[in-house]
């Protein structure tokens, strides 16, 4: 799913009006009922794609899809429940051009998924890891995973000996770990796709500081207040926050590329290729995380070609 035409506007800034014609393409977006997921769904459907809302709450998903002009459908998916992930994938029976791993939770009080994983790692990473591998034999274009600038937070690493952070839990630590995992997952996924001879590309994106309801669920009331003020004064809107995802999904970019806003500190602006932390560029950590994720989810690399 690429576009090789000139994608720059009058002032050199890419925007959703420059999306290519996506008629006949199918996209699955997790968490498409709100925030940048809904904004991305609206843009892709407006460009002609058939957009599948993969959401926990069918009623909310249906209400959101009804506000989108274009071809849509709604399917249930709870990323915090691997049984739900398997059920969604088992029900998928056609080629898939674009999988956007967008849904996420942020800085929650300590909670567990249905299978007992720390909620942020389990939802943001493990759920998407399982979903991607289960759907991958039918993916024909791209996998775009939404990460965050939080992957850079001080001393952030994957806590391989205790990814569930039992006895070591902080909402910010858990969120940063999950966002780092998103980038390492993308890195290793692209390595495996390349080695398997697949034309599918894996990319990552982050929205900068975007005003959504994601921040309203954080555990610390002071952080919630700060986020609310920042959303009003500093953040960009959801449509702008979705642009890095849309750029990664449709432009001619290399595999494992990372897209974010071009403004100061990557907080806002037009989408562009951005850098990542040293920890997020570590191929050994990426392979180790993949192996651990297979063990935790029971979902294995699905392509027939052998990957070292």
CA distances in angstroms from 75 to 50, 51, 92, 122, listed in the order given: 13, 11, 10, 20
Place of tokens 């610390």: 220
Q: At residue 118, does pLDDT exceed 90?
A: yes
| Domains of the chain with bracketed CATH | 18-297 (3.40.50.720)
**With bands split at pLDDT 50, 70 and 90, how would you rate the model's confidence at 4?**
very low
Q: 42: how many CB neighbours lie within 10 A of its CB?
A: 23
- What average pLDDT does this structure show over 10-31? 90
Helix, strand counts (H, E) of the chain: 10, 8
Catalytic, 247? Answer no
Choice among 169, 175, 247, 258 that is catalytic: 175
Element (H, E) at 272: strand 271-273
**DSSP code at position 262:** -
| Total count of residues recorded for the chain | 308
Instruction: For residues 144 and 248, give the distance between their C-alpha atoms in angstroms, rounded to a whole number.
Output: 7
- What average pLDDT does this structure show over 213-242? 62
Lowest mean pLDDT among 33-42, 70-79, 118-127, 265-274: 265-274
Q: At residue 92, does pLDDT exceed 50?
A: yes
72 beta partners:
51
What's the whole-model pTM score?
A: 0.90
pLDDT tens digits, one per residue of 56-91: 999 999 999 999 999 999 999 999 999 999 999 999
User: According to the model, what pLDDT value does residue 180 have?
Assistant: 97
Instruction: For residues 181 and 190, give the distance between their C-alpha atoms in angstroms, rounded to a whole number.
Output: 14
- What average pLDDT does this structure show over 221-228? 53
pLDDT tens digits, one per residue of 167-187: 899 999 999 999 999 999 999
Lowest mean pLDDT among 2-16, 190-204, 248-262: 2-16
- What average pLDDT does this structure show over 139-151? 97
Answer for the pair 159, 188: CB distance below 8 angstroms, yes or no. no
C-alpha triplet 10, 39, 79: angle, nearest 5°: 140
Q: At residue 2, does pLDDT exceed 50?
A: no
pLDDT tens digits, one per residue of 21-59: 999 999 999 999 999 999 999 999 999 999 999 999 999
């Amino acid at each position: 799913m690429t576009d090789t035409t000139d994608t720059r506007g009058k002032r050199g800034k890419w925007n959703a009006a420059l999306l290519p014609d996506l008629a006949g393409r199918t996209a699955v977006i997790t968490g498409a009922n709100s925030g940048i997921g809904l904004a991305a769904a609206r843009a892709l459907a407006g460009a002609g794609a058939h957009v599948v809302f993969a959401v926990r709450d069918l009623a909310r998903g249906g209400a959101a899809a009804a506000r989108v002009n274009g071809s849509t459908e709604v399917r249930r998916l709870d990323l915090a429940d691997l049984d739900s992930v398997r059920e969604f994938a088992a029900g998928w029976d056609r080629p898939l051009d674009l999988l956007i791993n967008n849904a996420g939770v942020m800085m929650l009080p300590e909670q567990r998924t249905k299978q007992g994983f720390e909620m942020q790692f389990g939802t943001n990473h493990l759920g998407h890891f399982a979903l991607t591998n289960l759907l991958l034999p039918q993916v024909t274009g791209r996998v775009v995973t939404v990460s965050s600038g939080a992957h850079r937070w001080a001393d952030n690493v994957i806590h391989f000996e205790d990814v569930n952070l039992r006895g070591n839990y902080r909402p910010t630590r858990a969120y940063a770990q999950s966002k780092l995992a998103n980038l390492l997952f993308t890195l290793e996924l692209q390595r495996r796709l390349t080695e398997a001879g697949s034309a599918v590309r894996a990319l990552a994106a982050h929205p900068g500081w975007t005003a959504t309801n994601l921040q309203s669920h954080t555990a610390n009331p002071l952080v919630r207040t700060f986020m609310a003020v920042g959303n009003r004064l500093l953040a960009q809107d959801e449509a702008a926050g979705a642009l890095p995802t849309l750029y990664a999904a449709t432009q001619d970019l290399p595999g494992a590329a990372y897209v974010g806003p071009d403004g100061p500190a990557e907080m806002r602006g037009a989408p562009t290729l951005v850098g990542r932390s040293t920890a997020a560029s570590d191929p050994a950590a990426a392979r180790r995380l993949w192996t651990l994720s297979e063990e935790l989810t029971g979902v294995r690399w699905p392509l027939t070609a052998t990957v070292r």
